Structure formats: C-alpha cells, structure tokens
Amino acid sequence: MFRTRLISGIVLVILLLALGIVGGDVLLLGLGLVSLVGMHELYQIFHLEKSSLAITGYGMVLLYYVGIRFFSYIIGSEVFLFSMALLVVLMSVYVFSFPKYKADQVMAVFFGVFYVAIMLSCIYLTRMLPGGTYLIWLIFLCSWGCDTCAYCVGVLIGKHKMAPVLSPKKSVEGAVGGVVGAALLTVLYGFAVGPAMGSSPRDIFFMAFISAVGALISMIGDLAASAIKRNYEIKDYGTLIPGHGGILDRFDSVIFTAPVIYFLAQYLN
C-alpha cells in the first residue's frame, strides 16, 4: 500500500510540475479536466453524476473556463454574474423537469461548481499573475507542505486532539507544526528563487506569511472534505489516484488554499 501510494504520489507531482511550468492553455485544460472529475466524484455522493442537473453543471464549468481563457476573468464581478447565470440555468432544469429533482440536489450541483471548479481555477489565475511562474508553487507548499509537516510533527509529539470526532489522528501540535513548516519551506523556497523573482527579503517573509495563512485554511479544507465523507459514510471520493483515493481526496486542501494564495499574492505585485 505504501509503495503504491508513493509511486502514484511521485507521478502526480511530476504531472503537476509539468502543468505548472508550462502554464497557459495546458494548465487551464488540465485544471478543467481535474475539475470535471472532482465534480463527478462529488455528485456521485448525491447519485447525480449522470443526471441532467449534473450535466448542466459540467457544461457551465466548461463555459466558465472558456471565459477565463478568452475574456481574462478575474475573480470578482464576473463570477457574481456567472453565479447568477448558473443559478438561473439550474433552476430552469429543476422547474421544467419537476418533480424529478429535489431542491437539495439543485443546491448540491450549485455547490459543486463553486467548491471544485471555481476554487481550483485560482491555480491558473495565480499562474497568470506577474511572477506567477514562482507564486503558483506557494499553493502547494502551504497545502501539501503543511500536510506533510503536520503529519511528521503529529507522529512525533502530537498529544492533544484537534478534531477528535471528525479526524482522531490530527493533533493541535501537528497543526502548529504544519503551519510553521509551511512558512519555513516558503522561506527556503523564497531565497532560492528570490533573485529570479527580483524579491527582497521583506517580500520573501511576506510570502512566508501568505503560506502560513494558506496552511491554516488548507487544514479547514482537509477537514471539510472529511466531514462530507463522514456525513455520507464513504471512505474515499474515488479511486483515480492509487493509494490516495479520488481527486477530491488529494486536492481537498488545495481547493481551499488556491483562492487564498491568489488574492494574497496580488499584494506582492
């Protein structure tokens, strides 16, 4: 099991590095595919993955990503307009197919579009910022970096349970270690790429602050995904990534971290 998890993790990191380095349309296409798979995993919980409601959600996400590509969306008023259009379209499907669907199913599809697709799109938006070639990696340093550091510290000295009912293995000590570890990793990363970015030491320490905030948020994302699984009594969202589960199992913290890094990173520019 460990070997499978390690190999699939390495492959995932290589693919991620390739997408992040190339950027542009390749990254956008990759994120679009990841978003659609993640939405499919989420909709399976509600038995909606092949429904007309879900298909409408998939279609609206494709339109959203086309909008990002050709109309240079920035998270703001455009997303507000998109959310209104999404709600109107979903409610139209709900009304004209009544009583096929319940109101909570419409809400689930609406939630899935934002929770997965729009929040993940912030990875692309971060990459498109000035200096985005380097800033994009803050998303993964403060999500997966935090996760790794929290695990190591928790195993070594973790005593006080952070969320005993939801995630019994997570500790307060591990959480602190994760935040501090993510910040320290970012400092090392910042000094390594600082000359290429033209960053001052002050910028680098601000990057570390951004990662610390992102690390805190990433833990909420991790626990939120776990809470959904507990509510619906499932172990994993999917089986796409051997040893890890589905897209949502691996990107649960990234989903929450990406928008935080996107907005905070703009202050570096």
Residue 183: both structure tokens together: 């910040």
Show the tokens assigned to 230: 């507990």
If one counts every other C-beta atom within 10 angstroms of the C-beta of residue 55, the result is 15
* pTM > 0.85: yes
Q: What is the b/e burial string over 129-156, where b = at least 16 CB atoms within 10 angstroms of the residue's CB?
A: bebbbbbbbbbbbbbbbbbebbbebbee
Which residue shows structure tokens 């973790």?
A: 158
What H or E segment, with its residue span, contains residue 169? strand 167-171
How many angstroms separate the CA atoms of 265 and 269, rounded?
7
pLDDT score of 255: 95
Per-residue pLDDT at 223? 92
Q: Taking phi first (over 0 means left), then psi (-120 to 50 degrees means alpha), and beta for anything else, what does residue 248 get?
A: alpha
Specify the length of the chain in residues. 269
- pLDDT tens by residue, 66-78: 988 887 655 666 7
Q: What is the pLDDT of residue 75?
A: 61
Specify the pLDDT at position 269: 62
Largest Cα span, the chain = 61
Show me where the domains of the chain are located: 1-128, 133-269
Geometric angle at alpha carbon 13, from 10 and 15, rounded to 5°: 110
Per-residue model confidence as pLDDT tens digits over 10-30: 788 788 889 888 999 999 999
Task: Look at residue 12 in the predicted model and tell me its pLDDT.
Answer: 82
Q: Can you tell me the distance from the alpha carbon of 227 to that of 88, in angstroms, rounded to the nearest whole number?
A: 29
Q: Please, are residues 236 and 163 in contact by the beta-carbon 8 Å criterion?
A: no
pLDDT tens across the length of the chain (269 residues)? 557 766 777 788 788 889 888 999 999 999 999 999 999 999 999 999 999 999 999 999 999 999 888 876 556 667 888 999 999 999 999 999 999 999 999 999 999 999 999 999 999 999 999 889 999 999 998 898 898 899 899 888 888 888 888 888 889 999 999 999 999 999 999 999 888 887 788 888 888 999 999 999 999 999 999 999 999 988 889 888 877 788 999 899 999 999 999 988 887 66
In the block, which residue shows the tokens 């172990």? 235
> In one letter, which amino acid is 257?
T
What is the pLDDT, as a whole number, of residue 53? 95
Give the C-alpha separation, 148 to 152, whole Å: 6
